[in-house]
Structure 1
Amino acid sequence: MEWTGAKYADGPTAEVETWIDASPRRVWEIVTDVESMPQMSSELQSANWLDAAGPAVGSAFVGTNSHPALGEWSTTSYVVECDPERVFAWAVQDPDNPTATWRFTLRDRDGGTQLRQWVRMGPGRSGLSQAIDQMPDKEEKIVFVRMREFETAMTATVAAIKQRAESAGDR
């Protein structure tokens, strides 16, 4: 992974992918349904659109997360890319200086969908920045552990999306 030995300011990334035996249309319905995403995530506890627009560039949603070491927190995320059945991405807190940017990429492949989930940490300060401030000599380890957690969680999320999409009757 690109994040080995990375510092927060490096904007480390993690990425996972899977092939899903369902159409991009069906997978798109799932990845853009942010209110159902907590059912597929161990950290995300709830997510709600702030406006009726739903998945569209500029629309926003609030997500509440929980982590054993970091506690519970809520953030507002802004959709920064929305290309139906292809790309759905959001920036956390500030679209111009996000604490993280998340992206789902869908590609029609072999009668199904290649789904990729990607995250980039920073460049804006996050809760992790506070831990780094307290232990600057451990920054690379702190970033490594968090990126590893992201990778593990994302692997579970795309597996849950795959399961949901493949079990649906309207693939």
Structure 2
Amino acid sequence: MTTTTDEHDLSEPLEASDFAFTRRAWVDAPPARVYDLVSDVSAIGRWSPNATDVTFDEGAGPRAGAWFSGRNHKDGRRWTTRSQIVRADPGTAFTFVVGGAEDGIVRWSWTLRPQGRGTVVEQSWRLLRLDPVLGTTRGDLEALRDYMANSAENTLIALAQWIAEE
């Protein structure tokens, strides 16, 4: 997808796939327990510094195809997103796409791997398509990616701490 260029280098096209990251942390709980926590989207506000009021659509739950809504905030702005679960493998992986599987804008993934008595939790973020609402320059999108990477690190730290104190 080449639709926008950096304001400083008009010859360099932007590609959505250039904007992604993965962060990981070890938590003191088995993968099945961690999966139950991260797939309960209504609980994300316990750990995420940016998401609140997340709820599944009526009758939906943590399964592929299900939809949920949540409020987000950044830099004094607030908005609501709609997301669709695209992978729900208990004890292994949980993935959703903001905007839905067909026309999504961002993919968030959680993967879980047993290690010792606990779990290595990976949280990944990938921009799926360019959209002016996220930024129009390479700098905008790099800043967004870096902000979201920091948010993911804070989420993983808070999750690990919450599990340790539970």
TM-score class, shorter: 0.7 to 0.9
Structure in which a larger fraction of residues adopt strand:
2
Residue in structure 2 matching 1:163, options 140, 161, 164: 161
Residue in structure 2 matching 1:44, options 39, 51, 54: 51
Distance in 1 separating the partners of 2:139 and 2:15:
11
Distance in 1 separating the partners of 2:70 and 2:38:
15
- CA shift for structure 1 position 167: 2.3
Counterparts in 2 of 1:33 and 1:7: CA distance versus 1, 3 Å: same
Counterparts in 2 of 1:55 and 1:10: CA distance versus 1, 3 Å: same
Instruction: Show the counterpart of 2:93.
Output: 87
Counterparts in 2 of 1:160 and 1:6: CA distance versus 1, 3 Å: farther
Identity of aligned residues (%): 25
The answer to whether the Cα contact below 8 Å between 1:100 and 1:124 also exists between their aligned partners in 2 is no
Instruction: Show the counterpart of 2:115.
Output: 109
Residue in structure 1 matching 2:24, options 10, 17, 30: 17
The answer to whether the Cα contact below 8 Å between 2:24 and 2:156 also exists between their aligned partners in 1 is yes
Gaps of 5+ in 2: 1-11
Gaps of 5+ in 1: 133-138
Counterparts in 2 of 1:110 and 1:59: CA distance versus 1, 3 Å: same
Secondary structure of 2:29 counterpart: coil
Cα RMSD between the aligned structures?
Answer: 1.9
Instruction: Show the counterpart of 1:135.
Output: none
Distance in 2 separating the partners of 1:15 and 1:6:
23
The answer to whether the Cα contact below 8 Å between 1:7 and 1:143 also exists between their aligned partners in 2 is no
Residue in structure 2 matching 1:68, options 75, 90, 94: 75
Tell me the number of residue pairs that the alignment of Structure 1 and Structure 2 aligns: 155
Distance in 1 separating the partners of 2:13 and 2:104:
18
Output one character per residue of 1:78-107: Cα deviation in whole Å (capped at 9) or x when no partner.
000000010000011131231100000001
Of 90-99 and 147-156, more deviation after overlay is shown by 90-99
Please, what TM-score do these two structures have when normalized by structure 1? 0.83
- CA shift for structure 1 position 53: 3.1
Please, what TM-score do these two structures have when normalized by structure 2? 0.86
Residue in structure 2 matching 1:58, options 65, 71, 84: 65
Instruction: Show the counterpart of 1:78.
Output: 84
